[in-house]
Structure 1
Amino acid sequence: MFTHIMVGANDPAESIKFYDAALGALGIKGHNMGDRAFYSHNGGNFGVGAPRDGQSATFGNGGTIGFKADTKEQVDAFHAAGCANGGTCDGKPGKRDGAPGDNYGAYLRDPVGNKICAFWTKK
């Protein structure tokens, strides 16, 4: 359905450091392109960088970008790496009450305030 998802960054180096750590914990490697970086995994593409229009980057209120984790341990590592690299906790790792099935996830805010999460689902 999507070719990619892109979020803006006011300090690209700070945001790239955050995403390298948080997504790296999920086994997702980035490709740094100066003021932007792209992360590709299993056919999905995610980018972060300075807005092309020169305006300040802002976050979307109510939006969340979810990344798939292969294990609960990856969710924990994603959360810890994000918090240690400029992000803030927006939901500690754990079972998500109200979510269908056996979902385990964690939420972070990146340095700009974009809300991201990692989820593992028992099969």
Structure 2
Amino acid sequence: MIGYTMVGTKDLDRAVVFYDAIFTEMGFTRCFKDDQVSFWGDKVNVEAPRFATGYPFNGEIANVGNGGMTAFLIDSTVKIDRLYAIAMGLGGSDEGPPGLRPHYGKGFYAAYLRDPDGNKIAFVC
């Protein structure tokens, strides 16, 4: 259903450093980058969903809306803990440390954070 998700940035080089580390840990590579945008995902399967960050097409400054979030499905709590630590070390900000969230379902484990531009992301399993 989803082709790609994109979040805005005010500093593409900083965002690429942040997301390169996150997606390398997740086993994905950067598929494309130019001076406006960068994409990560499966280079071979063009039908697989991808994630992008870049400058807004209209040339205005990227804004972060409240309520928007991209959640990445991760296969283990250990990997969520690692991803959260990587993100925090690269300028991410905490929105909810790794842990169980029983109010979302039995065994639901997640970490919530914002990237250096303030975009909210989550790692869940």
Q: TM-score, normalised by structure 1?
A: 0.89
Q: How does 1:39-58 map to 2 (within 5 A)?
A: 39-41=40-42, 43-58=48-63
Deviation at 1:39, TM superposition (A): 1.1
Unaligned runs of 5+ residues in structure 2 are none
User: Mind listing any 5+ residue stretches in structure 1 that lack a counterpart?
Assistant: none
> Tell me, what secondary structure is at the counterpart of 1:21?
helix
What is the match of residue 19 of structure 2? 19
- Deviation sequence 1:3-23 (CA, Å, 0-9, x none): 111111100011111111223
Identity %: 36
Aligned to 2:7: 7
Q: Aligned pair count? A: 120
Aligned CA-pair RMSD: 1.5
- Residues in 1 aligned to 2:111 and 2:72: alpha-carbon distance in whole angstroms: 10
Q: Is the 8 A contact 1:23 1:78 kept in 2?
A: no
State the TM-score, normalizing by the size of structure 2. 0.88
Deviation, structure 1 residue 26: 1.9
Range with bigger deviation, 66-75 or 19-28: 19-28
What does 1:57-76 align with in structure 2 at a 5 Å threshold? 57-76=62-81
Q: Which runs of 4+ in 1 moved over 3 A?
A: none
Once the two structures are superposed, residues 80-111 of structure 1 have per-residue CA deviations (whole angstroms, 9 ceiling, x without a partner) of 11111121111101101311121111011011
